[in-house]
Amino acid sequence: MDDYFDIHLDDGQIQAISSIGLAHLGDAVYELLVRSWLCAHGKATGKGLHRAAVELVRATAQAGRAEKILPLLTQEETAVYKRGRNAHVHTIPRSASRSDYLKATALECLIGYLYLKGRRERINRLFAVMMEEENDAT
């Protein structure tokens, strides 16, 4: 049986996944991190919780957070980020610029990649940097 809560794929298997596929997975992991962060910081109340989550996961917010971690990325992580940024996206939400949407897709691609590599500690470290300003505001 596969353990999809703790999945680790080898490099070949990960390379076979499209950048959009990695971003799709990374989007879910990022949203789980945001929701966990909100609950852990006492923001777990009905509509306020949903609104706060939406605010943190929208493309413009992710693009800003991506900019914060870019200087911290390894060469390998930067390559994955660029792979995601260069993805061929066909639909961009009206609430985001093309540039912000591609940065958000790149961030999600990186998170999906790190998740499949089993690098939870690295994801947590990068997420903590992304959320530093939010931590100061709470």
Higher pLDDT, 79 or 95: 79
Amino acid identity for residue 44 in this structure: A
- Is 27 catalytic? The answer is yes
Instruction: Quick: pLDDT tens for 9-56.
Output: 899 999 999 999 999 999 999 999 999 999 998 876 777 888 899 999
Which tokens go with 94? 């009206």
- Residue 96 DSSP code: S
Angle CA(66)–CA(71)–CA(76) in degrees, nearest 5? Answer: 85
Which tokens go with 19? 């950048």
pLDDT number for residue 122: 98
pTM of the model: 0.91
State the catalytic residue, choosing from 11, 27, 100, 136. Answer: 27
pLDDT number for residue 80: 97
The closest of 27, 2, 20 to 90, measured between CA atoms, is: 20
CA 51 to chain centre: 18
- pLDDT level of residue 94 (50, 70, 90 thresholds): confident
